[in-house]
Amino acid sequence: MAERGIDTEPANYAFSNYLGSGLYRTSGQEATVFNMPFSYQLENEVGPPLRVRLPVSVGFFDFDVSGLPEGVVPESIDTVSFVPGIEFDYAISENVTVTPYFDLGLARNLSTGTDTAIYSSGISLYYPLEGGDYDPLWVSRMYYAGHYTDATQKREEYAAFQTGIDIGLSHKFDVAGISIQPTIFATTYWYFVALEFDSPSGRDVSVSNSYELGFTLKSDQGIGYSFLSLDRIGVGYRFGDNFYAWHLLFDLPI
């Protein structure tokens, strides 16, 4: 891999916690990012229940994921980020729950040794729909994210509105005593502050909206230990504005 200078560092890996896991490609730039959305539920007797957000992301530049089935793995981790935060659920009616959050953390490009501060806040609305065994869930989110790299004095930010629906299939199956439900989903994103992707040619690509379709496998309980547990895995295809991404999912995709 060619050595990367600080001035040519692709910046969007700092948003991996909000863009999600997957292969992102635009104008010749490739970044493979894996995001693990861990969290921990706090026990409190007064007020709404609080959750500590503990997402960890690792990234690899110019890594071809098609080689994974053949045992080809990255030689090194190029980026890592940890952006802890806090969120809580507040029921505004019998069927509608809102969840605000605030994150503040750090990302590091290990190939250049540069650190980036990351900050984000937003709010989500969850509305279960009538659908019997299909468990349809409509979700809308509005959020803002930004990062600042002191070494380059580069600041980048974006804001987005997302809305979509997740629908469970009626057929469930058991694996090792855990009930698994397949789901399909569709969602769309509108970026109030356009998301910029850098390209090696020097021409930036600005993404103002995108769409995503996909499926997941949802378990009825967390698989893992304590806050290191996950209850979904899936894949989505996001596209729009000269941009596309295969999106690996470990959480609710909307």
The residue among 176, 193, 190, 227 whose CA lies nearest residue 120 is 193
| Alpha carbons 88 and 101: distance in angstroms, whole number | 7
Q: Say if CB 60 and CB 67 are below 8 A apart.
A: no
Q: Which sign does the torsion angle of CA 245, 112, 83, 101 carry?
A: negative
130 burial level (CB within 10 Å; 0-12, 13-18, 19+): exposed
The residue among 16, 42, 10 whose CA lies nearest residue 248 is 16
Kindly report the pTM of this predicted structure.
0.81
What the chain holds in terms of domains, given with CATH numbers, is 6-249 (2.40.128.130)
In order along its 254 residues, the chain shows pLDDT tens digits of 334 444 444 446 778 788 776 655 444 456 677 888 888 888 777 778 889 999 998 888 776 655 555 666 667 788 889 999 999 999 999 899 999 999 999 988 887 888 999 999 999 999 999 888 888 999 999 999 999 988 888 888 889 999 999 999 988 888 878 889 999 999 999 988 777 655 444 456 677 888 999 999 998 776 666 666 678 889 999 888 777 777 788 888 88
Q: What is the pLDDT of residue 226?
A: 62
| Alpha carbons 166 and 138: distance in angstroms, whole number | 7
The residue among 77, 89, 83 whose CA lies nearest residue 33 is 77
| Share in percent of the chain as helix, strand, coil (round to 5) | 10, 65, 30
Q: What is the pLDDT of residue 179?
A: 87
CB-side neighbour CA atoms (13 Å) of 88 = 11
Q: What is the pLDDT of residue 128?
A: 93
Q: What is the pLDDT of residue 5?
A: 43
